[in-house]
């Protein structure tokens, strides 16, 4: 099991390394230039004769819905107001060597209809220098890197849409819906593979493989979302009896490295939609509603046991991003954090964990100190608390204590701050001896004991702590930070120790 130490250490090792790459890459090419115009005459009817044009770029390969609706990973929005055929220039900041972009504009007076759907995510690369023309049904590029983006436009335009679906649905011809859908998807995939072959020499083998994986998302995502959201027992029964259902259930995927599959923004979205669809309970008469706690748990367990490596990491990120507003997902967060291996996706989970817990009531503990005195959370309600959980023999707990040296020296005598150190040791005397060794905690801190209950104590279960050490900052009895940065040592002027102190200063305001 991965410890919270390793999770927080990302802030020390991964992010500085990534910042180093961006800084040095940016010295040569700080931006990707995107110039163009919107050639849609309808925007002349909008207020002021202008439309809202925006691009969202991210280092994370997700679909447009996630890119446009989440602040849980590094992303940037660039927004402009442009008129019909008016030249524009977007300077897109270089967030990574490879980035993912959605590019949209409003095309009606209400400003609610956007050209370019959530499955049309463009892949940008460092060094691109692009020009484009946007219209209602097309985006065309010229310049360096344009072949890659035009290939993606062609792939998107070749996806299958069942145009008479509503007519067939109203007529109750559900089997015909899935028969036509299968034929259309199979045909579209063949066309899309031919498109990739046409561009292969210009985009290179790696990008051709990424886009090959991506076509399965283009083929199935919107279709599966519709199946998943249906409330019709008859329609769902027809789906389960169809050849298309068997194709999806038995899908093996292209034989490509996981790094390639994960770099395709829509491939793992298809896998996620597949799990959402296949885990719904249906007894032939009653169809389970989406997002029931049992359904959420079933999806999580299939991801946990059915996948591995970076594909599982990305699916876990998708799971928590998709259901981040559902209270039941908190029971999976600690384990999800321990399973996530790749830094960019683990950081997504850390951010969600922080957002879900901040502002929540901290567990109202009543625990004994080393003198046998009962200490309550309410006794400390007017203090800003640094609360950590540890046990004797925990190497990470000892490392955290050493890393906290600068924070301890800064706040040990501060009247508004208390250090609260809670042990899950089962042996009371062992706990008291460990307190005196200074190895895991400072004897002058408020040292508390869970009464021998260990991991089964209500405070541990309520906070869903699954790995140690675990640290919180608590203000006015509520969680102020659920994942404060792992301090970098005694120097309070640099690194994550400085970040920790800045967070504390904010809490003291």
Torsion 395-396-401-406 (CA) sign: positive
CATH of the domain at 123: 2.60.40
Cβ atoms within 10 Å, residue 437: 11
Helices 293-306, 267-278: crossing angle, 10 deg rounding: 130
Digit-coded pLDDT (tens) for 246-290: 999 999 889 999 999 999 999 999 999 999 888 887 766 777 766
- Strands 417-423 and 384-390, by their bridges, are parallel
Distance CA 400, CA 12 (A): 13
List the structure tokens of 236.
């769902």
Helices (H) and strands (E) in the chain, counts: 19, 16
Cβ atoms of residues 28 and 491 within 8 Å:
no
In a domain, 491, yes or no: yes
Query: How many CB atoms within 10 Å of residue 324?
Result: 17
- The Cα-based distances of 179 to 168, 214, 236, 245 in angstroms read 11, 23, 14, 10
Q: What is the pLDDT of residue 15?
A: 32
| CATH number for the domain that contains residue 436 | 3.40.30.10
Total domains in the fold of the chain? 2
pLDDT of residue 344: 83
Q: Provide DSSP, 36-104.
A: EEE--GGGGGSGGGEEEEEEEEESS---HHHHHH--SS-EEEEEEEEEBT--EEEEEE--SSEEEEEEE
Cis peptide before 469 (omega within 30 of 0): yes
Nearest to 329 by CA among 359, 376, 293, 378: 293
402 is written with which tokens? Answer: 């050493």
Residue 252 lies in a domain: no
Specify the pLDDT at position 107: 67
Which residues constitute the domain of residue 455? 366-508
What pLDDT is recorded for position 278?
87
| Residue 169 domain flag | no
**Cα-based angle 403, 405, 407 (whole degrees, multiple of 5):** 100
User: Cα–Cα distance between 12 and 495 in angstroms, integer?
Assistant: 8
Q: Which of 144, 161, 192 is the last residue of a domain?
A: 144
CA–CA dist 184, 159 (Å, integer): 9
DSSP 289: P
Q: Which tokens sit at 344?
A: 């960019």
CA–chain centroid gap for 84, Å, is 36
Asked whether residue 389 is assigned to any structural domain, the reply reads: yes
| Amino acid 383: pLDDT | 93
Can you read off the two tokens belonging to residue 38? 């919107």
Distance CA(103)–CA(56), nearest Å, equals 7
Tokens representing 146 are: 């344009």
Query: 70 CB contacts (<8 Å, ≥6 apart)?
Result: 62, 321
Query: Domain for residue 183, yes or no?
Result: no
CB 138 within 8 A of CB 156: no
Contact 358, 482 (CB under 8 A): yes
pLDDT in tens, 53-77: 888 888 888 876 666 555 556 778 8
Contacts of 23 (CB under 8 A, 6+ apart): none
What does the pLDDT look like over 302-352, one tens digit per residue? Answer: 999 999 999 999 999 999 888 876 767 878 888 888 898 888 888 888 877
Whether 419 and 443 have beta carbons less than 8 Å apart is answered as no
- Of 109, 144, 179, the residue that ends a domain is 144
What region, left, alpha or beta, does residue 482 occupy, with left being phi > 0 and alpha being psi -120 to 50 degrees?
alpha
Q: Which of 95, 118, 144 represents a domain boundary (last residue)? A: 144
Residue 235 lies in a domain: no
Q: What's the pLDDT at 3?
A: 40
Q: Is residue 208 part of a domain?
A: no
Return the structure tokens found at 89: 């220039």
Name 288's Cβ contacts closer than 8 Å, sequence gap at least 6: 280, 281, 282, 294, 295
Name the CA radius of gyration of the chain, rounded.
Answer: 27
What is the rounded distance in angstroms from the CA atom of residue 437 to the CA atom of residue 425?
15
10 Å Cβ neighbour count for 205?
Answer: 10
pLDDT of residue 128: 94
Chain centre to alpha carbon of residue 162: 31
- The residue count of the chain comes to 509
pLDDT in tens, the chain (509 residues): 334 333 333 333 333 333 323 333 334 448 899 999 999 898 888 888 998 888 888 888 887 666 655 555 677 888 899 999 999 999 998 888 999 998 888 766 544 445 556 678 899 999 999 999 998 888 999 999 999 999 999 999 998 888 888 899 889 999 999 999 999 999 999 999 999 999 999 999 999 999 999 999 989 988 888 887 777 888 888 999 999 999 999 998 899 999 999 999 999 999 999 998 888 877 667 777 666 788 889 999 999 999 999 999 999 999 988 887 676 787 888 888 889 888 888 888 887 777 777 788 899 999 999 999 999 999 998 899 999 999 999 888 988 999 899 999 999 999 999 999 999 999 999 999 999 999 999 999 999 999 999 888 999 888 877 678 889 999 999 999 887 888 888 888 888 888 899 999 999 98
**118 assigned to some structural domain:** yes
């Amino acid at each position: 099991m991965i410890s919270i130490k390793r999770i927080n250490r990302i802030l020390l090792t991964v992010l500085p390394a990534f910042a180093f790459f961006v800084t040095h890459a940016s010295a040569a090419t700080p931006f990707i230039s995107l110039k163009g115009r919107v050639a849609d005459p309808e925007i002349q009817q909008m207020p002021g004769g202008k439309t809202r044009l925006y691009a969202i770029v991210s280092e994370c390969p997700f679909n447009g819905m996630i890119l446009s609706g989440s602040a849980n990973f590094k992303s940037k929005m660039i927004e402009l107001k442009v008129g019909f055929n008016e030249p524009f220039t977007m300077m897109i900041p270089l967030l990574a060597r490879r980035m993912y972009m959605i590019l949209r504009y409003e095309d009606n007076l209400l400003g609610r209809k956007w050209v370019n759907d959530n499955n049309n995510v463009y892949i940008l690369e460092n060094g691109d220098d692009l020009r484009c023309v946007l219209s209602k049904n097309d985006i065309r590029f010229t310049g360096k890197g344009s072949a890659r983006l035009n290939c993606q436009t062609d792939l998107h335009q070749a996806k299958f849409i069942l145009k008479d679906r509503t007519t067939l649905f109203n007529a109750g011809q559900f089997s015909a819906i899935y028969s036509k859908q299968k034929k259309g998807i199979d045909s579209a995939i063949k066309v899309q593979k031919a498109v990739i072959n046409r561009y292969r020499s210009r985009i290179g083998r790696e990008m051709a493989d990424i886009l090959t994986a991506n076509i399965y998302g283009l083929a199935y995502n919107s279709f599966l979302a519709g199946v998943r959201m249906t409330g019709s027992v008859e329609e769902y029964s027809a789906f389960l009896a169809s050849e298309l259902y068997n194709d999806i259930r038995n899908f093996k995927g292209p034989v490509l490295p996981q790094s390639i599959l994960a770099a395709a923004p829509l491939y793992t979205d298809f896998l996620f939609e597949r799990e959402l669809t296949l885990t719904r309970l249906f007894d032939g008469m009653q169809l389970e509603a989406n997002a029931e706690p049992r359904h959420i748990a079933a999806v999580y367990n299939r991801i946990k046991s059915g996948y591995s490596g970076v594909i599982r990491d990305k699916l876990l990120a998708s799971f928590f991003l998709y259901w981040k507003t559902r209270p039941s997902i908190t029971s999976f967060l600690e384990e999800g954090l321990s399973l996530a291996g790749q830094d960019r996706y683990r950081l997504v989970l850390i951010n969600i964990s922080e957002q879900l817990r901040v502002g929540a009531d901290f567990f109202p503990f009543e625990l004994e100190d080393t003198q046998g005195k009962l200490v309550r959370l309410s006794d400390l309600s007017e203090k800003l608390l640094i609360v950590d959980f540890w046990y004797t023999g925990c190497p990470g707990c000892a490392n955290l204590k050493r890393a906290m040296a600068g924070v301890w020296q800064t706040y040990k005598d501060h009247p508004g701050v208390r250090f609260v150190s809670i042990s899950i040791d089962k042996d009371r005397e062992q706990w008291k001896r460990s307190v005196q060794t200074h190895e895991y905690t400072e004897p002058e801190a408020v040292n508390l004991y869970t009464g021998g209950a260990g991991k089964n104590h209500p405070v541990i279960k309520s906070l869903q702590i699954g790995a140690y050490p675990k640290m919180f900052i608590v203000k006015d009895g509520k969680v102020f930070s659920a994942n404060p940065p792992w301090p970098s040592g005694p120097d309070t002027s640099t690194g994550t120790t400085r970040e920790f102190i800045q967070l504390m200063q904010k809490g003291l305001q």
